[in-house]
Amino acid sequence: MKQLERALTQLGISSDSSRIEKFRIYMEGILSWNKMVNLTSITDPEEFIEKYYMDSLLCVSYDEFQNSNSIIDVGTGGGFPGVPLAIAAPEKEFLLIDSLNKRIKIINELCEKAEIKNVTAIHGRAEELAKNKKYRQKFDLCVSRAVANLSVLSEYCLPFIKKGGWFLAYKGPDIREELKESRKAIQILGGEVKKEEQPILDGFRLDHKIIFIKKTGSTPSKYPRKAGTPSKEPLK
């Protein structure tokens, strides 16, 4: 956990013992569940901290994150990037969604065990939850990592975000082609790509870029299309 403490310091997050304990309990829980349910191919704690915790935390020092109170993580899997972000920012509220209920149950169980009180995890497909008034255009910020290509992902994520809010997409290092192919979709859905950042943390090999997309307009009510359609027929 020393490695985690050093990285938190670099990110300007205090590494008090109760915060470190939450990170530890959650990681041990995921690694233990992983023996029964496939959540990650990583079994080494050091590698886990780098690939799951540090990578998830890459956006914490940006104003777009700092200035947001309500945050949704779409396709959270085992809780990434949502859970590490929630441990880092206990004053913000996080909703984590995933289409696999087993993963949601594990997140809720582990958040209770680690006393992570600002996370609610719910089961559902983004295409369906984004039609629900309770969630549609209600969030200051949406984050998503390793879920779909940017065009499909924008249809999943942009409908959840309030006008003036942000979508931070965690993407691999070479995003040029994907960005080009998704420009039209992002525009149709009420978004605008503002910048790409590749945050660096000393001592870690992190290769994710973050694409910052601002929600500048409203998402037309016909989006997202019905479950399965965005991935079968991505907007072009």
Ligand X SMILES: C[S@@+](CC[C@H](N)C(=O)[O-])C[C@H]1O[C@@H](n2cnc3c(N)ncnc32)[C@H](O)[C@@H]1O
Residue numbering of the annotated binding site for S-adenosyl-L-methionine: 75, 80, 126-127, 145
In the bound state with ligand X, the residue whose beta carbon lies nearer, of 103 and 214, is: 103
The strands making up 209-215's β-sheet, listed across from edge to edge, are 119-123, 93-98, 70-74, 139-145, 161-171, 209-215, 191-197
> Least distance from C-beta 17 to ligand X, angstroms?
26
> Least distance from C-beta 14 to ligand X, angstroms?
25
Is the omega angle on the peptide bond into residue 224 within 30 degrees of 0, that is, cis? yes
Place of tokens 């942009």: 158
Q: Which residue is nearest to ligand X (CB)?
A: 77
CA distance linking residue 191 with residue 208, whole number of Å:
21
In the bound state with ligand X, the residue whose beta carbon lies nearer, of 76 and 219, is: 76
In the bound state with ligand X, the residue whose beta carbon lies nearer, of 18 and 41, is: 41
Phi, psi of 162 (to 5 degrees): -65, 155
Phi, psi of 228 (to 5 degrees): 100, -30
CB-CB contact of 57 with 19 (8 Å) = no
Phi, psi of 205 (to 5 degrees): -100, 90
With H, G, I as helix, E, B as strand and everything else as coil, classify residue 12. coil
Query: Which tokens sit at 33?
Result: 């569940």
In the bound state with ligand X, the residue whose beta carbon lies nearer, of 47 and 192, is: 47
CB-CB contact of 74 with 142 (8 Å) = yes
CA distance linking residue 151 with residue 134, whole number of Å:
24
In the bound state with ligand X, the residue whose beta carbon lies nearer, of 104 and 114, is: 104
Please state the residue numbers annotated as binding site.
75, 80, 126-127, 145
Query: Which tokens sit at 111?
Result: 């958040």
Residues within the interface to ligand X (CB under 6 A): 75-78, 80, 97-100, 103, 125-127, 145-147, 156
In the bound state with ligand X, the residue whose beta carbon lies nearer, of 6 and 123, is: 123
